[in-house]
Amino acid sequence: MTSQITFYLSQINGCKIYDMNGIRLGKVMDVIVNTTQQGQPHEEAFRPVIIGLKTKIKGEICYLNFEFIKIESKRKNFIFKCSQLDFLPESKIENCLPLVKNILDRQIVDINGRKLVRVNDIRLVSIPSGTFAIAVDIGTEGLFRRLGIADFVNDILNIVKLNLPTQYILWDDVEALDSSNFNIKLSHSTNKLQLLHPSDLADIIEEMGSKSRKTVFESLDEEKAADVLEEMEPYAQAQIIESLSIGKAADLLEKMPADEVADLLDELEDEKVELLLNEMEKESSEEVRELLEYEDKEVGSLMTTDYLSFREGMTIEETLNELRRQKPEADTIYSLFITNEEEKLIATVTLRDLVISSPTMTLSEIMNKQFIRVFDEDKINTLAEIISKYDLLAIPVTDAENTLMGMVVIDDIVEDLMLKGKTKKGGRSWR
């Protein structure tokens, strides 16, 4: 064997396996790789090593130990020579990955490209230290190679000085989805899906089939799952919640903004909604129930209840310290609200005014009493004009008695205009 042979899974799947006397043992039915990083430094790129070949000998399925197998290549034709008939134990096979069964023709996530793709082939390399899977092929050439016409097509294209498009994803940049054993990881790292932005991951999960969607979603930790669910389209949100147990779904909803939960529950049957609300903690449940009372075209149905309110006697230093302690989301500090003991809105304060003012000054010295607000029962179609006219990033929402109910941020209005009907966060008030 030469020092290095580069080949593809499609080229060896079905190839014959012989013993050292030239007697045929069987043919390659699958290639088994070890996906743990044993013996490889964590800082280096991970490449899973082939540990076995699945075949059938005398009518029995077995897994040959690849340690005793050599690859021979002649003009892109491959055969395998087995120097010793050694079989892998079942315990070792359980924690490894069959490439044909679990990866070839399956959907994977391109972590770097943040998209769902399909595997047309897998690139392998054999070197003195072992045989490794190094990349997945998602290009056109990989597809034609599978069909056995890649060389023919390339010969034709060479006449006009063109080549078949090739596209590879290194093994470290992929994550398996459509596999029978979803506990299998393609690399040494923790679930790489956790590293994606919730919006990217939401887009990917929405493209999956219902079974894959449920399994991948359940692999996320609760905080990540809540963030991802918030970014998903209503139909996908409903499907995810329907697929979970009432207890698990309720736990997840409690980590989401109340107004997002209200929007999601609008997609479910009343009976399921009641079961979920009863399972949720009382405070969270009551907040969601209040939002559910609004009509779809009312401002209250679009507002976020995650706002920041303070008393006018607080100093600038106290206010900033509270903001540092709470670490609120960016959209909640578009506007800060001043309320009295009865939670009536009396003024607003901008973050700019807080930053440039003396720490010893009180909010009453910098607050704006001439503010624009809307009522919770106003029509949503009035919001865009108001925010545009007054150049606002957010606008407070009160009831008819001037009690602060929440606010609407510009992001929500844009999303509503795009017919997504998505809102943000859930409410706090500090003294």
pLDDT band at 429 (very low <50, low <70, confident <90, very high): very low
pLDDT band at 421 (very low <50, low <70, confident <90, very high): very low
Please report the pLDDT score of residue 415 as a whole number.
64
- Fold held by 5-176: SH3 type barrels. (2.30.30)
Q: Is the pLDDT of residue 326 over 50?
A: yes
CA distance 376 to 407: 9
CA distance 332 to 316: 18
Amino acid identity, residue 119?
V
Degrees (nearest 5) of the Cα angle 198, 202, 207?
155
pLDDT band at 38 (very low <50, low <70, confident <90, very high): low
CA distance 101 to 110: 19
pLDDT tens digits, residue range 243-285?
A: 889 999 999 999 988 888 998 998 899 999 999 999 999 989 9
Please report the pLDDT score of residue 28 as a whole number.
95
Please report the pLDDT score of residue 416 as a whole number.
61
pLDDT band at 356 (very low <50, low <70, confident <90, very high): very high
pLDDT band at 27 (very low <50, low <70, confident <90, very high): very high
Q: Is the pLDDT of residue 74 over 90?
A: no
CA distance 382 to 392: 14
What would the mean pLDDT of 174-181 be, rounded to a whole number? 54
Please report the pLDDT score of residue 397 as a whole number.
95
Neighbours of 154 (CB within 10 A): 15
CA distance 82 to 59: 18
pTM for this entry: 0.61
Beta strands in 259-311 (DSSP E): 309-310
DSSP assignment string, 17-84: EEETTS-EEEE--EEEEE-S-TTS-TTSPP-PEEEEEEEEETTEEEEEEGGGEEEEEETTEEEEEESS
In CATH, which superfamily holds the domain spanning 197-293? Answer: MgtE N-terminal domain-like (1.25.60.10)
Please report the pLDDT score of residue 191 as a whole number.
58
pLDDT tens digits, residue range 107-134?
A: 777 777 677 788 999 999 998 889 999 9
Range list for CATH 3.10.580.10 in the chain: 309-417
Q: What residues are paired with 176 via a beta bridge?
A: 108
Q: Is the pLDDT of residue 314 over 60?
A: yes
pLDDT band at 392 (very low <50, low <70, confident <90, very high): confident
Please report the pLDDT score of residue 132 as a whole number.
93
Range list for CATH 2.30.30.240 in the chain: 5-176
Mean pLDDT rounded to a whole number for the chain: 84
Sign of CA dihedral 164, 165, 169, 170: positive
CATH architecture of the domain with range 309-417: Roll (3.10)
Please report the pLDDT score of residue 2 as a whole number.
52
Range list for CATH 1.25.60.10 in the chain: 197-293
Element (H, E) at 140: helix 140-147
What would the mean pLDDT of 91-103 be, rounded to a whole number? 86
Please report the pLDDT score of residue 44 as a whole number.
57
Please report the pLDDT score of residue 42 as a whole number.
47
Higher pLDDT, 185 or 21: 21
Amino acid identity, residue 132?
F
pLDDT band at 342 (very low <50, low <70, confident <90, very high): very high
Please report the pLDDT score of residue 327 as a whole number.
86
pLDDT band at 358 (very low <50, low <70, confident <90, very high): very high
Please report the pLDDT score of residue 62 as a whole number.
93
pLDDT band at 146 (very low <50, low <70, confident <90, very high): confident
What would the mean pLDDT of 140-152 be, rounded to a whole number? 85
Q: Which residue has the tokens 């290009």?
A: 139
Q: Is the pLDDT of residue 395 over 50?
A: yes
